[in-house]
């Protein structure tokens, strides 16, 4: 779950996360996110006249897919969180389940990358040197405070 207002990523396998013990990560702790599609191959064999198992020529395979996300984090306890997006293994590439799992994984990855970038941008902006401006209310040369007000008269600067 993404709590954009609080800037938190809440991770738990439970649908009722408050009843569980979720991992709570600040957006500023997210370093990146990778999406991986695991393809599981199981060779299909045929039975010979003698009852032996024999490979087809060329070999045939039963393919299954899982969509996984690896969220890289900066915490003292762990450096990555691995999540499987789909609830059950997907049997067919291009199926509705395959496309939906891919969409969900891409959406989560893109949201985390965007939120991380926004967090980085706000940190850079906060660390940027403040420039002095002239207050339109009192005429003093001032550096606006954190809420954008004149340090002398309290007037709003640059609305």
C-alpha closest to that of 32 among 4, 78, 73:
73
Counting runs of H as helices and runs of E as strands, what totals does the chain give? Answer: 1, 8
Q: Global pTM?
A: 0.69
Judge whether residue 159 has pLDDT over 70: no
pLDDT, tens only, 25-62: 888 898 889 999 999 999 999 999 999 999 999 999 99
**DSSP state, 20?**
S
SS percent in the chain: helix, strand, coil, step 5: 25, 40, 40
> What is the pLDDT at residue 4?
79
The partner residues of 71 in beta bridges, in order of sequence, read: 33, 81
Question: pLDDT higher for 29 or 1?
Answer: 29
């Amino acid at each position: 779950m993404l709590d954009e207002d609080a800037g938190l990523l809440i991770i738990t396998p439970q649908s009722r996360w408050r009843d569980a013990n979720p991992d709570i990560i600040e957006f500023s702790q997210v370093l990146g996110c990778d999406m991986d599609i695991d393809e599981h191959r199981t060779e299909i064999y045929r039975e010979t006249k003698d009852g032996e198992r024999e490979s087809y020529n060329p070999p045939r395979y039963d393919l299954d897919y899982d969509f996984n996300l690896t969220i890289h984090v900066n915490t003292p306890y762990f450096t990555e969180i691995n999540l499987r997006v789909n609830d059950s293994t997907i049997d067919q590439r291009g199926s509705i389940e395959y496309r939906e799992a891919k969409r969900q994984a891409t959406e989560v990855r893109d949201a985390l990358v965007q939120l991380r970038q926004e967090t980085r941008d706000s940190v850079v902006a906060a660390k940027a040197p403040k420039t002095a401006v002239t207050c339109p209310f009192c005429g003093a040369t001032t550096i606006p405070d954190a809420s954008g007000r004149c340090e002398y008269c309290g007037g709003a600067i640059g609305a």
